[in-house]
Amino acid sequence: MIFELASMESQFCVICGQSTSLYNYGTISCSACSSFFRRTVLAKVPIQQCPHQDACYTPENRATHSECKYCRFHKCVDVGMINTQKYTNLTKLINQLSVLDKKRSYTCANMMLPPDFRLSSIFDYEHIKLIKKTPEVRFISHDWGCVHQLASMEFIKTFQFVKFLSLQDLQVFMKTAHFNHVIFASAMRSFGIRQGYLSFPDGSDVFPECIKKITCYNPEFLNRIRCKLMGRIIELNINPEEYLLLSAIILCNPAAVNLSVKGRTLISSYQKVYGSLLFQYCCQVNKKNGPLRFSELLTIFHAISQTHHDIGQFFLLFQMYQPNAQPIQLYQEVIDYMM
Ligand SMILES: [Zn+2]
Ligand SMILES: [Zn+2]
């Protein structure tokens, strides 16, 4: 939406510094910058990385480096264009997320790593190629864990903001963001089949079978991992639409260590967009207590991060007490990278 400034006074575009009297996406910005922003958001391909140390659209440099799309776009994000844009339609977004989540769920239940799988393929924008599991293949917990993690990473790669992250940011972001999503999606699968504890799609326990031979694991600790988050989901009775929007918020986690400032700003801008869409949804569905429902739903993040922390503790114990029960080298690499 474009507005002319009331006074018709000439001001300066906050992106490129050109004189303008227009107001677009909540900022004083010229028509060239606002149409650049719209085109970039809608483009399907990743944005080209900056050739000049990510510093082209500063007031000092923008005259000489105006061709850099990466810095121009991130300048648009920095001044708040993502937060104010209304390109996201709630119903359409829920439908899109639902299709992608079904695909993720299918991958978790039916796919496996190909024999020539290389860990490096996780690290780029391309999709990971998994193969269909044949009926004679029997998964152990490490197989399930790997496939769930890869399926969540593929799910992350379908989000719009991923194509605006530098490759380095994408790698540190996925490492941090995906595991909370794995936990939440697995818990919601169990909830969907009215089961009060975490398990894998074939009904097997989330812990390796061999832990039963060793007594170092406190059964209450293991049950906390299996059941605590489930308890909170059951209390909140999270519906499928709420789950999808919460998933999007969980994924846009700007807290990853070593993210660049541009990457962090981008991810938190998208998190705000998904947060406001969940708020909008809660208010549409719960006419009287939408804001209350919204804040109740956000408490799930605490339960997820507690479970994440407990699983981390479990893996530490597992590596200490059962070094011989470690998975094959490739799986170990995948797990080490992703934990
Ligand atoms: Zn401009
Ligand atoms: Zn640049």
Q: The CATH number of the domain where 166 resides is what?
A: 1.10.565.10
Q: Do 257 and 118 sit in the same domain of this protein? A: yes
Q: Cα separation of 99 and 251, whole Å?
A: 17
Q: Do 220 and 295 sit in the same domain of this protein? A: yes
With b for 16 or more beta-carbon neighbours within 10 A and e for fewer, the 294-309 pattern comes to: beebeebeebbbbbbe
Q: Do 282 and 204 sit in the same domain of this protein? A: yes
Q: Which of 277, 85, 61, 254 is nearest to 165 (CA)?
A: 254
The highest-confidence range among 34-38, 53-57, 88-92, by mean pLDDT, is 34-38
The mean per-residue pLDDT over the stretch 157-169 comes to 89
The residues whose Cβ lies within 5 A of ligand 1, an ion, are 13, 15-16, 18, 30, 33
Distance, CA 164 to ligand 1 centroid (Å)?
A: 19
- Give the number of residues written for the chain: 339
Q: Do 101 and 223 sit in the same domain of this protein? A: yes
Q: Do 205 and 325 sit in the same domain of this protein? A: yes
Task: State the DSSP H helix or E strand holding residue 192, giving kind and residue range, or none if neither.
Answer: helix 167-192
Q: Which of 214, 174, 173 is nearest to 318 (CA)?
A: 214
Q: Cα separation of 56 and 81, whole Å?
A: 18
Backbone angles phi, psi at 212, to 5 degrees: -65, -20
Q: Which pLDDT score is estimated for 333?
A: 62
Distance, CA 275 to ligand 1 centroid (Å)?
A: 29
Distance, CA 76 to ligand 1 centroid (Å)?
A: 10
What's the CATH code of the domain at 58? 3.30.50.10
The highest-confidence range among 23-27, 41-45, 231-235, by mean pLDDT, is 231-235
Distance, CA 29 to ligand 2 centroid (Å)?
A: 19
Q: Range of 103's domain? A: 90-338
Q: Which residue has the tokens 């994408």?
A: 170
Distance, CA 18 to ligand 1 centroid (Å)?
A: 6
Indicate if the pLDDT at residue 313 is higher than 60: yes
Indicate if the pLDDT at residue 275 is higher than 90: yes
Q: Do 201 and 99 sit in the same domain of this protein? A: yes
Q: Do 102 and 79 sit in the same domain of this protein? A: no
Residue 329 binned pLDDT confidence (cut-offs 50, 70, 90)? low
Distance, CA 22 to ligand 1 centroid (Å)?
A: 10
Strands 19-20 and 22-24: unpaired
Q: Are 215 and 194 in contact (CB under 8 A)?
A: no
Q: Which pLDDT score is estimated for 64?
A: 79
Q: Cα separation of 175 and 255, whole Å?
A: 11
Distance, CA 169 to ligand 2 centroid (Å)?
A: 15
Distance, CA 61 to ligand 1 centroid (Å)?
A: 14
Q: Where are the alpha helices (DSSP H) in 193-254?
A: 219-236, 240-251
Total domain count for the chain? 2
Q: Are 77 and 266 in contact (CB under 8 A)?
A: yes
Task: State the DSSP H helix or E strand holding residue 35, giving kind and residue range, or none if neither.
Answer: helix 31-42
Backbone angles phi, psi at 4, to 5 degrees: -85, 145
- Final residue before a domain boundary, out of 38, 65, 84: 84
Indicate if the pLDDT at residue 198 is higher than 70: yes
Distance, CA 210 to ligand 2 centroid (Å)?
A: 52
- Final residue before a domain boundary, out of 84, 111, 146: 84
Q: Which residue has the tokens 């097997």?
A: 204
Q: Which pLDDT score is estimated for 283?
A: 95
Q: Are 185 and 247 in contact (CB under 8 A)?
A: yes
Which residue type is seen at 303? A
- Final residue before a domain boundary, out of 84, 106, 141: 84
